[in-house]
Structure 1
Amino acid sequence: RQIRERAIQAAMQIIAHLTASTPMVLVIDDVQDVDDSSIDMIERAVQIGGGTSLMLICLAQRRLLDRRPRWGEAAPGALRIDLQPLDEHQSRRLVGEILRKAGKLPTDLRNLIVSRAEGNPLYIEELIKMLVADGVIVPGDDKWQIQVGRLPRLRIPATLSDLLRARLLPLGPPERAFLAAASVAGGAFWEGAVAAMLGHDLGADEQTILALESHAIIAAQAESTLRDEHEYRFSHDLLREAVYEQIPPEQRADYHRRLAGWLTNHSGERIESYAGLIAEHFERGGDLSNAGRWHIHAGAQARASYALDTAIVHYHHAIQFLVDDPTAVSDLIACYAAIGQVQLEAAQFAEAVASFRRARDLASRAGDQQTEAHALERLSAIADDMSDPLAMRDYAQQALDLARTIGDPAQIVICLANLSLANNRLGSTERGLELAQEALAIAQQANYDLGIAKSMAYLALAYEHLGDLATAMGHMQEAMARFRKLGNLAEVATQINNLGYIANAQGDFASALTFLEEGLRIAREGGIRYMEIYLLSNLGATLVGLGRHAEAEEVIRRGIR
């Protein structure tokens, strides 16, 4: 999440620099096909980029509003424009613009196109393309000819779908086969992928591609999303859908499996970013075991991008496909542990408990003590989030016993740290101090940097509960420095918040103000919003202590919002 937020901040800083002297217009098309996490990123970028000279234009079909009914309304200065069908005058202007090289158009031709289109600009474009293919309109370099005598013999499709299908009728078998395979890949496709689906050598479809380009059914892309691959796009997604719907189910499934295999072998260093697409093609091809495994990869990729909702969807798909596969037990265990962690990060505590319990049970039956210990440790951490110190202590002790059996120093350190915190929560502060000291000693011996930082943080809490605030603050500052070195901004903000809290308790409001303002800056830069609430609460107390009551009220209100 921190990396994601900082990436958005960096992108908006670049845009602010670029627009400092010249305004910029950025267009994002087909937003209805964008995943939820990317839509969230667009909204967040708008929130923090309000001071830039940037106009952001997002084009989408109405089905976007089925997912996000109020999308964009909260953005400052946002304007939503609903495109209505063209009126007759606008339709005539569009026809005249497309056919401007034909000079003065015959009234019958213009009336035919306008009346059939009923205000749909795509129908107008596609009907004109069909008239070109049928020889009614004959394009030339400088002037287009109209064969008016052919108009009475034309049979014009009544609907856009029928029109698109009619445009495919003149194509020969090679063009039809190529389009069928291409439609499986989506609106955009790679020449190599289509060749693999058809069992052709690369380059064998060159003449077919030229023919389809001449019919304006596909167009080459200036750049390809895959290195060393020629990429093309259907002229419209409705045309692709018309082709896809005509493929027999068995052949369609075979194409999906072949495409998944091709993507696996040709995605190169970007293979993880294509994991979700590979999983989808295996799924549509009926290969559910491979689909499940690739959904695990896709979930990991989404989690790394802090697209938590997307990650959860992928992991649920993986569980669905792998749960009855006796060869996939280890994958299933890893999947339950992974989805549990994502649910924890998304504050879905009850769901996370269920997932980690399932991971624990499966790991126990499979003799996987490492994962069983990890699941128990995570259950301990969740119990703390759910304010259940007794459960936290019990889970941490079970995890510690397993970790000692395995002999894993890192796991032992984390379990000891959790057990220390649980004892502190239960009032057994001396025991909590002993456990934190043991954790620190093992972490130092193992050179386990994260464990050292966590142990320092829990030592600080133990000393705070014992009333030794000076020692507590010293350990907090040491932990903060180590977390900062590790790049863990959430823990840095946590330690700074604790330092501010203690400074408030000591009446040192000037120091508290310095701590908490720095913590807020870090939390905002890292997108650590839950820490903002704690920091604002403590900052409100600081400002009250300094006699700045109006500011304190505003800060506390911001925390509530």
Structure 2
Amino acid sequence: MERKLATVLFVDLVDSTGLVVGSDPEVVRRRVTEFFETVSHCVAVHGGIVEKFAGDAVLAAFGVQRAHEDDAQRAARAALAMRLAVTDLGLQARIGIEAGELLVDDAESTFVTGEAVNTAARLQQVAAPGEILLGPTAHRLAAAGLVVEDAGPLELKGLDGPSRAWRLVDAVDGPGRPLGPRAALVGRDAELELLENTFSRVTRDGRAHLFTIYGEPGVGKSRLAREFLDGLERASVLTGRCLPYGEGVTYWPLAEMIKAAAGISDDDPLEEAFEKLRACCEEETVADVLGLASGMLEALEGERSPQEIAWAARDIMETLADVQPLVLFFEDIHWAEEPLLDLIEHVADWVRAPLLILCLARAELLDARPGWGGGRVRSTAIELEALSEDESLLLVEKLLEQVPTPPALPREMLARTEGNPLFVEETIRMLVESGDDGRADRIPDTLQALIAARIDYLSTPAKTLLQRGAVIGRVFWQGAVAHLSPDLEDVDVLLDDLLMREFLLREPRSSISGETAYRFKHLLIREVAYTGLAKLARAQHHARFAEWLGERTGEELLEIRAYHLDQAVDLMTELDGAPPQELAETTASALVKAAKRAIAREAYPTARKLGTRALELRPTLGARWVAARAAWRMQDLATVEVEMPKVRNEARNQGEPVIEALALTALSEAVLKRDGDPTRAEEIVDEALELLSGQDDPVAHFDTLSAAATIDAWQGNMDGWIRHMEKAFEIAVDADRKDLQTIAATSLARSHVIRLELDEAERLLTRALELSGESGSVRARVGTTLSYGGFLMVKGELDAAETVFEEVRTTAVELGLGSSEAAALHRLGKLARVRDDHKRAERLLRETVSITVARGDRAILPEYQAALAQTLVDVGKLEEAERLALEARANVVRQDPQGVSVTTAALGAVRAAQGRRDEATELLRTALELAQDANLRVLELAPLKLLAGVMHDQGLEEEAAEYEERLAELSPSEDAARVA
């Protein structure tokens, strides 16, 4: 089975009952048979198939056995033809047309299922006699070549809500009007110059020249040609387009050119048209032959040979070119039949006049005509390649000038459209029409039809191989696709064919040793090829590829293997409601292993996603632990509070003391930071340390000791902090874990910064930064860089500190480290305050508070509120500042001397600004004493500076001088008091 974007047409005979009543059965049979034959003929002429006859109705499909980029157009034109033909029979019909994804049994089958079938049938039912209604997808695909009227929203039986529909009035000749932004010509200067130089040579030498432009669909062949033709002066241009379907279309392009040259319009009577043709030709014989080729002399059908028609074409073209240089512009000659191709080459060889024959073609032309243009001195062929990245970006930006879009959209669209101008245009048109708010993740139907038609042109084995490669991904391997294709012979030959046809590129290097790697030339080719596979086939191939990958690479590409297994599970669940148990278990196991590897490389969001998915498939301890651990590393303590108790219980029941201890360690952090209960947190971490006694797991010991040190730091227990962290550092050294050494050295450095022992702090931070670089750990680097920025702030190196904090902020956002992001914002806000950029300071600190509230980090929130309160004092928002300062002081953890000191000082600053100096003095002295008692010397700076100001305000200059003297003794820099 195969899934295809195809178009369905339902046509029903109007008043068939009235036809039967009072009529002879044989007459009725003949009339109905005429109707069916007429409809079937119109369908066949336009390249469709009749799927079935149902009573007096006919269901036809376009693009089922072989897709065409214009299947919706074909269906619409077939409908117009059958409406006219049925009317000639004295009958009337109702017609409904819709396009969409259909499921087809195989390439030869005419049986189709899909929503589009139902919609087309419902449209036919509500159509008036003689009316043709188009559904939304058919309209979107075909509207550029049609004249339509809005039929308004229609209530269609069995469908939810009103459905948009359009009334088909007529078709227009040519490629149709553009429905979206037209691409500027970008990146084709050299090709345009070559065309112009060739035409100059033609006019100078007075000889014919054949110029062929090759290129994949949408690459810009027509756009280049139009730019060239629009710039011509003193030249005649005749245009003809080769049609891919229809009766009597062999010389269609020539007929278009002849009619244009003779001034013949489509509504001219035949006799008048032929007289115009004769007036244009020097010889009557030439006119007769061309009249036959153009369909004006139908009675002579078959009496003139292709050679005679070619001779006549040469004669008239030479005559026209003698008057003025002439360009014959043939579009889509890959659809041309042999006689027309012979004619073009004959004209190119024999015309002795200034004539340029410009042909546009896809590479498929060379399948039918390998020697096209070969052996001719006056022949040029070029291939248009995709635009470069810079050219593509310029094109996207030009097209988006009048379209409001997110800033990131041009780059996103660049990645999907990969230098193909039509792909860019159609994607932008889709966004404009659908109002997708900048989403470019869906393939426009027009592009899907275009690419699907290219794929369907392949042989069945080549197409099958391409689709199986698409299951593997944008890049796939020869051995893998061969493993998926035991039913195909000569896989290498098929791959070479796909390379030659430019569906694929050979990768210069392969990530699997000994395997040749291939890449889809365009991302959208891969997506359309994949979409064409039935979901059951997709599931089977995903699972088989995962099997091959495991056998071929072992654990090396584990994440890719897990992904493909999970895709198989999703597809089987969608089809059957649940995957086979064995598949689910295999997938869950692979996901857990992949999640562990992601944690090891610090890809925590990925690890969390993988672990959570594994837990959905099979709720094991391993899955729950890896998902919860990733959440812990991402500082998502809300999830830690929910999941780690479950991990702890399962680990205890299954005899896993290390996992149980680490679950407790994570819980201790949540209890400390979210509940603000350091006493309870200390009890939990002590239990974890006891569980680890005798366990040989250095990472677990390190994490638990680090948690104990953090609890000590929160409680102002400097000795405990240093003791636990020094022990953790020793463990990290013994284990040769430089990432853990980085974390330990950074923590110890912070203990020195807070005591204003800056020389030792600098030594430790310098070492930590070195270790961070050697370890490659992003997690360790974030913590170290954050602490280093704080050190620079205290030293007064504010510009350097700001650079550091911006780096931390960016990395934290990328890794989803919310608390680190908030910490960086907090410090950036304080820096802005020092520089008197109060607007920026307020914005940054409000963002800090907002993030922290959303995360539920109760313990640190009061300090951030205190910083915001002091900034609000600076801008005179005293009422809000007071509210925040009071809230911060009320909610601060009482066992946290740092938090109590900071929030008390903030309230003191508010009271000082309010003129309540006695209260301010008392609060600031309390804050100062708290900092002194806990040996938090850096926290003495702000109260000292504020107290000196309050004393000055009261005229107490001696006391002010005492505070200023103490401040001068402690301060390592002029701004230290404001940033501490």
Quick one: distance in 1 between partners of 2:658 and 2:364? Answer: 68
Rate the CA distance shift 1:205–1:421 in 2: closer, same or farther, 3 A. closer
2:494 to 187, 208, 219: 208
Where 1:340 maps in the other structure, the secondary structure is helix
How much does 1:311 deviate?
A: 4.0
Counting only pairs closer than 5 Å after superposition, residues 4-83 of structure 1 correspond to structure 2 as none
Where 1:295 maps in the other structure, the secondary structure is helix
AA aligned opposite 2:508: E
AA aligned opposite 1:340: A
1:221 to 497, 506, 524: 506
2:688 equivalent in structure 1: 399
Q: Within the alignment, does 1:369 sit opposite 2:369 as a pair? A: no
Quick one: distance in 1 between partners of 2:228 and 2:369? Answer: 12
Q: Within the alignment, does 1:107 sit opposite 2:240 as a pair? A: yes
Quick one: distance in 2 between partners of 1:296 and 1:394? Answer: 31
1:315 equivalent in structure 2: 611
Rate the CA distance shift 1:451–1:160 in 2: closer, same or farther, 3 A. closer
Q: Within the alignment, does 1:84 sit opposite 2:180 as a pair? A: yes
AA aligned opposite 1:254: Q
How much does 1:371 deviate?
A: 1.0
Query: Pairwise CA RMSD of aligned residues?
Result: 5.2
1:183 to 470, 473, 483: 470
CA contact (8 A) 2:828 2:844 kept: yes
Quick one: distance in 1 between partners of 2:680 and 2:705? Answer: 15
CA contact (8 A) 1:436 1:455 kept: no
Rate the CA distance shift 1:420–1:108 in 2: closer, same or farther, 3 A. closer
AA aligned opposite 1:183: A
Deviation string, structure 1 residues 243-277 (Cα, Å, up to 9, x no partner): 54554554433322221233345569972674564
Counting only pairs closer than 5 Å after superposition, residues 517-532 of structure 1 correspond to structure 2 as 517-525=799-807, 527=811, 529-532=821-824
Rate the CA distance shift 1:94–1:361 in 2: closer, same or farther, 3 A. same
How much does 1:369 deviate?
A: 0.5
Q: Within the alignment, does 1:350 sit opposite 2:638 as a pair? A: yes
1:199 equivalent in structure 2: 486
How much does 1:195 deviate?
A: 0.8
Quick one: distance in 2 between partners of 1:124 and 1:372? Answer: 70
549-558 or 532-541, which deviates more: 549-558
Q: Within the alignment, does 1:289 sit opposite 2:418 as a pair? A: no
Q: Within the alignment, does 1:533 sit opposite 2:629 as a pair? A: no
Counting only pairs closer than 5 Å after superposition, residues 126-165 of structure 1 correspond to structure 2 as 129=362, 132=365, 139-141=372-374
2:318 equivalent in structure 1: none
229-238 or 444-453, which deviates more: 444-453
Deviation string, structure 1 residues 132-182 (Cα, Å, up to 9, x no partner): 49969994436699xxxxxxxxxxxx9776666565566555334423422
How much does 1:524 deviate?
A: 3.8
AA aligned opposite 2:584: L
1:271 equivalent in structure 2: 557
Rate the CA distance shift 1:415–1:167 in 2: closer, same or farther, 3 A. closer
304-313 or 129-138, which deviates more: 129-138
Quick one: distance in 1 between partners of 2:742 and 2:451? Answer: 63
1:381 equivalent in structure 2: 669
Quick one: distance in 2 between partners of 1:108 and 1:407? Answer: 78
How much does 1:393 deviate?
A: 2.0
Q: Within the alignment, does 1:490 sit opposite 2:760 as a pair? A: no
Deviation string, structure 1 residues 270-315 (Cα, Å, up to 9, x no partner): 7267456445455457633333344345545656776654443333
Quick one: distance in 2 between partners of 1:450 and 1:134? Answer: 60
1:79 equivalent in structure 2: none
How much does 1:372 deviate?
A: 1.0
Rate the CA distance shift 1:440–1:106 in 2: closer, same or farther, 3 A. closer
How much does 1:463 deviate?
A: 8.6
491-500 or 360-369, which deviates more: 491-500
Where 1:406 maps in the other structure, the secondary structure is coil
How much does 1:209 deviate?
A: 3.0
AA aligned opposite 2:542: H
Deviation string, structure 1 residues 366-418 (Cα, Å, up to 9, x no partner): 11101111121122223333244244223212212212253656644543443
Quick one: distance in 1 between partners of 2:447 and 2:731? Answer: 72
CA contact (8 A) 1:483 1:492 kept: yes
1:230 to 516, 523, 548: 516
Quick one: distance in 2 between partners of 1:408 and 1:461? Answer: 26
Where 2:490 maps in the other structure, the secondary structure is coil
CA contact (8 A) 1:456 1:479 kept: yes
Rate the CA distance shift 1:331–1:434 in 2: closer, same or farther, 3 A. closer
Quick one: distance in 1 between partners of 2:469 and 2:615? Answer: 30
1:153 equivalent in structure 2: none
AA aligned opposite 2:681: M
1:513 to 788, 796, 800: 796
Quick one: distance in 1 between partners of 2:760 and 2:608? Answer: 37
Rate the CA distance shift 1:555–1:268 in 2: closer, same or farther, 3 A. farther
CA contact (8 A) 1:279 1:291 kept: yes
Quick one: distance in 2 between partners of 1:447 and 1:171? Answer: 61
Rate the CA distance shift 1:243–1:133 in 2: closer, same or farther, 3 A. farther
Quick one: distance in 2 between partners of 1:337 and 1:394? Answer: 21
How much does 1:190 deviate?
A: 2.6
AA aligned opposite 2:796: L
CA contact (8 A) 1:224 1:231 kept: yes
Higher relative CO (Cα under 8 Å, sequence separation at least 6) belongs to: 1
Q: Within the alignment, does 1:262 sit opposite 2:548 as a pair? A: yes
How much does 1:479 deviate?
A: 4.2
Quick one: distance in 2 between partners of 1:136 and 1:86? Answer: 33
How much does 1:85 deviate?
A: 5.8
Rate the CA distance shift 1:138–1:372 in 2: closer, same or farther, 3 A. same
454-463 or 334-343, which deviates more: 454-463
Q: TM-score, normalised by structure 2?
A: 0.36
Counting only pairs closer than 5 Å after superposition, residues 440-451 of structure 1 correspond to structure 2 as 440-441=726-727, 444=730, 447-448=733-734
Which is richer in strand? Answer: 2
AA aligned opposite 2:626: C
Rate the CA distance shift 1:291–1:98 in 2: closer, same or farther, 3 A. farther
Deviation string, structure 1 residues 493-518 (Cα, Å, up to 9, x no partner): 454466568x6xxxxxxxx304x555
Which is richer in helix? Answer: 1
2:435 equivalent in structure 1: none
How much does 1:522 deviate?
A: 3.6
CA contact (8 A) 2:662 2:704 kept: no
AA aligned opposite 2:557: I
AA aligned opposite 2:493: Q
AA aligned opposite 1:313: K
Q: Within the alignment, does 1:415 sit opposite 2:511 as a pair? A: no
Rate the CA distance shift 1:165–1:383 in 2: closer, same or farther, 3 A. same
Rate the CA distance shift 1:278–1:98 in 2: closer, same or farther, 3 A. farther
